[in-house]
DNA sequence: AATGAATGAGAGTTCATTCAT
DNA sequence: CATGAATGAACTCTCATTCAT
């Protein structure tokens, strides 16, 4: 005999998941707009026009939903990096430069689309929690390690200088994105500026790392 | 008609100015330690052992004193840069490199001495206020403009590449300090790391900008 | 006109009654474990693995089911007393003492088996409601009246002192159980203590009431 | 030179102490009326017509002020006992009986004056906190130990039975007050009832413990 | 001029109860 | 008839700010 048909309204897990998603989205929007600390649970509820307690059906606390918002964001960054072909694909410096270019394009695209998210991640995280700060720093470490892997391959393949301190260079390359990101937050950074910026950095760094 | 002569003991303006200074200093220490948001007016008052209301005799709000604290901090950064000999002094690339090195030494020294201040400026400012964010970004602009002036001189003097996009390079140079600053905030960045970092960056960038 | 014959499956009254019973039992367990105030409707529902709303199909409020839980408990106490042979059965003081002993044994047994229930009845009831307090006090009155009936019989039968204030003595006898009950709630009252306690009380009171 | 005169409004510790006292009193009244759990901080504030935050200037939490309310109450009980002449003063059974009588008079007086307090202590304490329950049980232990000391003296002095289990009897004597206290909470226990009760208990117990 | 007691809006969170499905 | 998602009032507690002294 199969499971007896359960009485009543089925738990509709899709609905619950959808609510969670909607709440995370609303929280993301509110956090991005006002900042995590200034934002209130009420702002999130009002954005969805739900009651005060609904939030707490789905998340234990304000702090918890922040983790989900951050998860969401980190996944996007990691995807932006992982979408690129692996280091081994590049046989020449120009191919390598193309890889770097595409990764930075994707990061820029995220920053352009979601400046509030960047602010939340880069600037507010450290005010909130050691755990959160640590997660963010781990993301940066991951990005550094990824770029370092591309550099290491370049050294082995012979198109980058043998004496590169690849870890330092990778760190610097990552952070070199920051002035552009910060100018995006100001709203004074259009596609032309971005083009100019990427080109300038490559011209600057290119000779420094090329063999 | 001039102000009528005031009766009684004149309000001691020097004393009031001193109080203000002391309050700003205390606020500086408290904000650096706990962060602006987590800090309370009470913390500031207690540090000076004055009553709760005294604060409001000298400042209109918590937000107002933050401006003065930030003034204080920005001055230090600007002084760190201004202390260096003007661009015109450097006649060779090596002299220029020495200038850059000394500026970055001073910035590192501030960051090492006052990590809380860095956190406040870099990470918390944007959570608080658009006006404050704007001020911070202006500081970055000033730093960029300053470094760009050194670069422009180098181009004119002939020891830097003629085709440098000096503004972009200056931006990037400034932000290249950031990974180091962030690692300082984590407490995982000793003097050796700093030496290695500065050296690595210079090796990387040197060839890129030198003529 | 009689009720028109209902269409469809008749509401299964037996099933509904069973649900009620199960809910009361679950509430009993939950209230005994966590206390009425700390307990939530959710705890009751979860214990039966039913939905949140089911509770409200059978009871109007948290307060209402408490009445039923208390009913249940009071019945057990009354049964503990009623199980004893009626006063008329005892012809001698020793027989009377045996009756008292057996009644107190039964009350102790309930307390030992269900300390949470005792806590609910004795200590929490009065925090909740005047109506509930009143019901509890009526139980005590009933117990007093029952014991007084045993005493009255003993006076008439001649084995107890003629000048006993039977109501006062009955009251006192009931409450003399309390120190033991309270020590049970503390967990510092084993069977030996109970034996010693009952024996001590009987030695104390025996001479006071015996003719 | 003496301490320089401090500027500003002096801390006026008397005022603060008075506020504390007033708050404890208000809390006592509110807790006695509605019970600790049902009472809100707002009730206390409104009773004194002060703002919401004033409470928290003087007490860290709702739980903390309860401790002070309970302190207050326990002191009264201990004073009621300590006011009696020490055990050694009684040379005869009648003098001993007088001592017991006066102690119980004082306890009754407290219960009559403050039924809500009794309810709070006896009935609600155990719902709140293990720490509070423990404190209450310690009070009961103290009362038991005190009465046991009177009994022990009586045994040594020869006017009480040599084979008394003094601890058990003391426990029972203490709790024998309870029916009266509970009836006071119902408001159905006037001075006559009390007289009758005390007399009845003494008649009952007197023969049981007297030599 | 300085004090610190007082304020009260607003925060995050809980939970008995309702009701669309 | 059962369900469980949704509700929202009420809770305890915080803290920037005010003001009588």
Q: Which residue would you say has higher pLDDT here, B118 or C151?
A: C151
Which among C37, C186, C208 is the nearest to D206, CB-wise? C208
Which residues, other chains included, contact A59 with Cβ-Cβ below 8 Å and sequence gap of 6+? A20, A23, A65, A68
Question: Which range among A16-20, B2-6, D189-193 shows the weakest confidence by mean pLDDT?
Answer: B2-6
- Average of per-residue pLDDT values in chain C: 85
User: Does D184 lie in the same domain as D100?
Assistant: yes
CATH number at D20 reads 1.10.10.60
Does the pLDDT at position A67 exceed 70? Answer: yes
Q: In which domain, by residue range, is B19 found? A: 11-59
Q: How confident is the model at residue C5 (pLDDT cuts 50, 70, 90)?
A: very low
Element (H, E) at C175: helix C166-175
Same domain, residue pair C135 and C181? yes
pLDDT of amino acid D149: 95
A74-83, B106-115, C2-11, D20-29 — most confident range:
D20-29
Q: What is the mean pLDDT of residues C92-103?
A: 92
Q: Is the CB of D62 under 7 A from strand F?
A: yes
Q: Are A120 and A69 a contacting pair, CB within 8 Å?
A: yes
CB contact under 8 A, C197 and D38: no
* CA–CA dist B205, B210 (Å, integer): 8
Confidence (pLDDT) at B9: 47
What is the chain D residue with the closest CA to C121?
A: D123
- Nearest-CA residue of chain D relative to C143? D179
pLDDT at D77 over 60: yes
% of chain B beyond a pLDDT of 90: 36
Q: List the single protein residue with the shortest CA to C1' distance from F14.
A: D53
What percent of chain A is modeled with pLDDT above 70? Answer: 93
pLDDT at B206 over 60: yes
DSSP chain A: -PPPPPPSS---HHHHHHHHHHHHHHHHHHHHHH-TTT--HHHHHHHHT--TTHHHHH-S-HHHHHHHHHHHHHHHHHHHHHTSPPGGG--SHHHHHHHHHHHHHHHHHHHHH-HHHHIIIIIIHHHH-HHHHHHHHHHHHHHHHHHHHHHHHHHHHTSB-TT--HHHHHHHHHHHTHHHHHHHHHT---HHHHHHHHHHHHHHHHHHHB-
**Looking at the domain assignment, is residue B6 inside a domain?**
no
Higher pLDDT, A29 or D10: A29
**B123 with A127: Cβ contact below 8 A:** yes
Position A138 in a domain: yes
* Average pLDDT of the residues in A111-138: 83
**Which residues of chain C (10-49) touch nucleic strand F at CB < 7 A?**
11-12, 15-16, 19
pLDDT band, very low/low/confident/very high, at B1 (cuts 50, 70, 90): very low
Handedness of CA A120, A123, A129, A132 (dihedral sign): positive
Domain match, C106 and C142 both: yes
**pLDDT grade for C42, boundaries at 50, 70 and 90:** very high
Q: What percent of chain D has pLDDT over 90?
A: 36
Judge if C35 and C78 occupy the same domain: no
**Contacts with B26 (C-beta within 8 Å, 6 or more apart), sequence order:** B44, B47, B48
Question: A179 and B127: CB-CB below 8 Å?
Answer: no
Same domain, A34 and A81: no
Among all chains, which residue has been given the structure tokens 């310690």?
A: D138
**Count, residues in chain A:** 211
Q: Taken in order A62, A64, A69, A74, is the CA torsion positive or negative?
A: positive
- D171 to C185: CB separation less than 8 angstroms, yes or no: no
D48 lies in the same domain as D120: no
Q: Which of residues 5-44 of A touch strand F (CB under 7 A)?
A: 6-12, 15-16, 19
Residues B55, B67 share a domain: no
Mean pLDDT of D175-195: 78
Confidence (pLDDT) at A9: 52
Evaluate whether C37 touches D127 at the Cβ level (below 8 Å): yes
Do residue C34 and residue C108 come from a single domain? no
For residues D55 and D70, membership in a common domain is answered with no
D1 in a structural domain: no
D136 CB closer than 7 A to any strand F atom? no
In a domain, B157, yes or no: yes
Question: Is C9 buried (19+), middle (13-18) or exposed (0-12) by CB count in 10 A?
Answer: exposed
Minimum-distance CB partner of A176 among B144, B175, B209: B175
- Each residue of B145-183: pLDDT tens digit? 999 999 999 999 999 989 888 998 888 888 777 777 777
Q: How many angstroms separate the CA of residue A126 from the nearest CA in chain B?
A: 7
Position D85 in a domain: yes
Kindly indicate the confidence band of residue C9, based on its pLDDT and cuts at 50, 70 and 90: very low
* D187 has a pLDDT exceeding 70: yes
> Which residue in this structure is represented by tokens 């960045």?
B189
**B111 is a domain residue:** yes
Instruction: Inspect the interface and report whether the beta carbons of C206 and D201 lie closer than 8 Å.
Output: no
* Average predicted confidence (pLDDT) for chain D: 85
User: Residues A143-161: what's their mean pLDDT?
Assistant: 94
Residue of A nearest to B196 (CA): A168
Q: Which residues of B touch A196 (CB under 8 A)?
A: 165, 168
Average pLDDT, chain A: 86
Q: What percent of chain C has pLDDT over 90?
A: 36
What per-residue confidence (pLDDT) applies to A3? Answer: 47
- Give chain C's end-to-end CA distance (angstroms, integer): 68
Across the range D4-28, mean pLDDT stands at 75
- To the nearest 10°, report the CA torsion of D178, D182, D188, D190: 40
pLDDT band of D11, cuts 50, 70, 90? low
- Do A72 and A42 have their domain in common? no
Beta-carbon contacts of A130 under 8 Å, excluding residues fewer than 6 positions away, are none
Is D155 within 8 Å of chain C by CB? no
Q: Which residue has the higher pLDDT, B112 or D175?
A: B112
The answer to whether residue D141 scores a pLDDT higher than 90 is: no
| Residue of B48, B103, B102, B40 whose CA lies nearest to B77 | B103
Check pLDDT > 80 for residue C26.
yes
| Residue the block writes with tokens 């009980």 | D77
Q: For residues B134-163, b (16+ Cβ closer than 10 Å) or e, as one string? A: ebbbebbeebbebbbebbbbbbebebbbee
The sign one gets for the Cα dihedral C131, C134, C138, C139 is positive
> Rounded mean pLDDT of chain B?
85
**3-class secondary structure, B160:** strand
Number of domains in chain C: 2
Report the residue of C147, C164, C172 to disrupt the D interface, i.e. the one with the largest count of D CBs within 10 Å.
C172
Percentage of chain A modeled with pLDDT above 90: 40
Number of other residues whose CB lies within 10 A of the CB of residue C209: 23
Residue D36 with chain C: CB contacts under 8 Å: 127
Residue entry with tokens 């009696």? D84
Residue C210, φ and ψ in degrees, nearest 5: -70, 150
Which pLDDT does position C23 carry in this prediction? 95
Angstrom distance (rounded) from CA C160 to CA C152: 8
Residue A208: which of B133, B178, B206 has the nearest Cβ? B206
* Residue B200 contacts A where some CB pair is shorter than 8 Å: yes
Structure confidence by residue, pLDDT tens digits, C133-169? 888 888 888 888 999 999 999 999 999 999 888 998 8
pLDDT-based confidence at residue A2 (cuts at 50, 70, 90): very low
Do C48 and C104 fall within a single domain? Answer: no
D4 domain-assigned: no
Residue B122 DSSP class: I
* D119 and chain C in contact, CB less than 8 A: yes
Model pLDDT for residues C171-209, shown as the tens digit of each residue: 888 877 777 777 777 777 888 888 888 888 887 788 778
Question: Are residue C35 and residue C96 in the same domain, yes or no?
Answer: no
The verdict on residue C48 lying in a domain is: yes
Whether the predicted pLDDT of A52 surpasses 50: yes
Strand E, nucleotides covered by protein (CB < 7 Å): 1-21
Residue B13 has pLDDT above 60, yes or no: yes
């Amino acid at each position: 005999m199969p499971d007896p048909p359960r009485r009543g309204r089925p738990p509709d897990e899709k609905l619950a998941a959808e609510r969670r998603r909607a709440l995370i989205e609303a929280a993301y929007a509110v956090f991005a707009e006002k900042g995590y600390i200034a934002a209130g649970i009420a702002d999130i509820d009002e954005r969805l026009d739900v009651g005060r307690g609904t939030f707490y059906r789905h998340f234990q606390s304000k702090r918890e939903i922040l983790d989900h918002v951050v998860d969401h964001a980190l996944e996007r960054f990691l995807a932006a990096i992982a979408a690129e072909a692996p280091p081994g694909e590049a046989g020449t410096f120009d191919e390598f430069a193309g890889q770097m270019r595409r990764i930075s394009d994707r990061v820029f695209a995220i920053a352009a689309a979601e400046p509030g998210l960047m602010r939340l991640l880069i600037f507010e995280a450290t005010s909130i929690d050691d755990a959160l700060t640590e997660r963010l720093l781990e993301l940066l470490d991951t990005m550094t390690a990824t770029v370092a892997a591309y550099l290491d391959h370049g050294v082995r393949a012979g198109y980058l200088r043998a004496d590169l301190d690849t870890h330092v260079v990778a760190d610097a390359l990552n952070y070199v994105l920051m002035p552009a990101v910060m100018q995006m937050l100001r709203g004074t950074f259009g596609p032309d500026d971005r083009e100019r910026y990427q080109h300038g950095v490559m011209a600057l760094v290119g000779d420094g790392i090329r063999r």
